[in-house]
Amino acid sequence: MFIYRHKIRTRYNHTDRMGYVYYGRYAEFFEEARVDALRSIGVSYKKMEEEGMYSPVITLRVNYYQPLYYDELITVEAIVPVMPTLRTKFIFKVYNEKGELTADGETSLVFVDGITRKPVRLPEVVEKAFEPFFTGN
């Protein structure tokens, strides 16, 4: 299992009129944590895209438990529970400054060829980056 913890300071423009972090921002928090998690193990989305490989989100789910507010330092856990193959599943947990779970969710992504837009096998660089977390090496 792969787990990465990412810190984000909520900004004023993240909030709605009620002073809560707007529900749509959670997808952005998930994306930021996911991209940074991959970067932490040597996988660059930018480089993959330059090499003609894309990874679109095909599912997104979010559950909200309590609000987040302006200027909170939140933690977003990005968890990959199983070794990625054709599809990569990320589970997310969002915690406020007190360490309370405020939301959780999930995304699924696939890898596609940049020209054909057809699904392709997991890129070797991604497979090698995740291998140590799932083989015990």
Pairing of strands 2-9, 53-54: unpaired
pLDDT confidence of residue 59: 97
Q: Contact, 76 vs 8, CB < 8 A?
A: yes
pTM, rounded to two decimals: 0.93
Please report, in tens digits, the pLDDT of each residue of the chain (137 residues total): 999 999 999 999 999 999 999 999 999 999 999 999 999 999 999 999 999 999 999 999 999 999 999 999 999 999 999 999 889 999 999 999 999 999 999 999 999 999 999 999 989 999 999 999 998 65
pLDDT confidence of residue 137: 53
CATH superfamily assigned to domain 2-132: Hotdog Thioesterase (3.10.129.10)
**Closest of 123, 25, 110 to residue 67, by C-alpha:** 25
Q: Indicate the domain borders of the chain.
A: 2-132
